[in-house]
């Protein structure tokens, strides 16, 4: 009992240090406290200095077997590692028993994709709009069409210029730009890798309509998509506009820009079966990043099978 009480006092001292010196918020301190109390319970009467690496590994396995998700286990390990790092400066420790221990791998979640019908309905002109479309509506439609047409990341889309601009007058060269003549966009993706992606006919029509009313950018730049203040559209504003449009269109999903990227990839793969082409268009450096969409494709095929095959379900 004395050993356990001594251990708890060390935890209290560490939490006090986090509160007074690192100025952590009460919410964060509560999270640290829960994680450390879990370690206190798991380790029982074993003194902190005597806690071995294999024991902490066993605790991790026990938490996983108890149904705790890998993300929560990773957070606990981080809290425990920080505590022992601090403790090593306060008392004699041979080593940090948490070093080198990793949480179990997280299950790879499949990206969410809209059905073809919902994706088309989302990016098509709104049926409820009366009269001529406002510039903001034309801008939105061009952005949404392009996201679905070309599978761009939100950062890639918001970085697009109307045309290529070289570095001059204190401005950097374009990271991405629209090439209407070639029916494509050139974008800079992860790792500063540039790629060309085709633009579909519907997106070209929407882009032409937007360019016909696009005002000059407030900063004189060639930013393709602009906010109501004529500044380059931000990823956050794009996210909010797409979410509001999805709600108004009654799309039964939590729609954000990456959903359209996922929808693009899965729909192209369903139609073509060409995994390499999808990899190139998405800008994935490794084919393994793209292979997740084969699982989506299988889900689609499995659904068709369940609905169509007379022996798919036992009557």
> Which of 22, 58, 190, 193 is an active site residue?
190
CA-to-CA distance for 50 and 71, rounded, in angstroms? 27
232 catalytic? Reply is no
The helices-and-strands tally (H runs, E runs) of the chain is 13, 4
153 catalytic? Reply is yes
245 catalytic? Reply is no
> Which of 64, 81, 195, 258 is an active site residue?
258
- Length, in residues, of the chain: 315
Q: Which residues contact 278 (CB under 8 A, 6 or more apart)?
A: 265, 268, 269, 272, 290, 293
236 catalytic? Reply is no
> Which of 7, 241, 267, 284 is an active site residue?
284
- Angle formed at CA 272 by CA 270 and CA 278, multiple of 5 degrees: 85
> Which of 241, 261, 262, 267 is an active site residue?
261
261 catalytic? Reply is yes
> Which of 14, 59, 148, 293 is an active site residue?
293
CA 144 to chain centre: 18
Structure tokens at 195: 């790629």
> Which of 153, 214, 232, 245 is an active site residue?
153
293 catalytic? Reply is yes
Strands annotated E in 163-280: 176-179, 184-188, 194-198
- What is the C-alpha radius of gyration for the chain, rounded to an integer number of angstroms? 27
Eight-state DSSP code of residue 80: H
Catalytic center residues: 153, 190, 258, 261, 284, 293
């Amino acid at each position: 009992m004395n050993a356990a009480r001594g251990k708890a006092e060390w935890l209290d001292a560490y939490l006090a240090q986090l509160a007074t010196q690192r100025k952590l918020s009460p919410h964060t301190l509560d999270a640290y406290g829960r994680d450390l109390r879990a370690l206190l319970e798991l380790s029982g009467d074993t003194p902190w200095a005597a806690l071995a690496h294999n024991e902490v590994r066993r605790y991790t396995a026990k938490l996983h077997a108890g149904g705790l998700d890998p993300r929560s286990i990773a957070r606990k390990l981080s809290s425990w590692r920080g505590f022992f790092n601090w403790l090593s400066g306060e008392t004699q420790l041979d080593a940090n028993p948490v070093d080198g221990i990793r949480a179990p791998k997280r299950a790879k979640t499949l990206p969410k994709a809209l059905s073809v019908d919902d994706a088309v309905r989302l990016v098509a002109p709104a049926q409820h709009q009366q009269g001529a479309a406002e510039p903001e509506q034309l801008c939105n439609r061009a952005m949404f069409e392009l996201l679905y047409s070309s599978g761009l990341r939100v950062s890639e889309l918001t970085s697009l210029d109307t045309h290529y601009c070289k570095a001059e007058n204190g401005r950097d060269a374009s990271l991405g730009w629209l090439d209407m003549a070639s029916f494509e966009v050139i974008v800079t993706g992860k790792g500063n890798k540039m790629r060309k992606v085709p633009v579909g006919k519907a997106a070209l029509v929407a882009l032409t309509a937007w360019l016909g009313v696009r005002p000059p950018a407030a900063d004189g730049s060639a930013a393709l998509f602009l906010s109501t203040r004529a500044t380059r559209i931000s990823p956050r504003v794009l996210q909010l506009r797409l979410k509001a449009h999805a709600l108004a269109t009654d799309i039964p999903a939590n729609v954000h820009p990456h959903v359209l990227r996922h929808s693009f990839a899965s729909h192209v793969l369903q139609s073509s079966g060409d995994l390499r082409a999808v990899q190139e268009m998405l800008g994935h450096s490794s084919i393994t990043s793209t292979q997740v969409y084969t699982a989506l494709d299988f889900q689609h095929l499995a659904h068709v099978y369940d609905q169509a095959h007379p022996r798919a379900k036992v009557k």
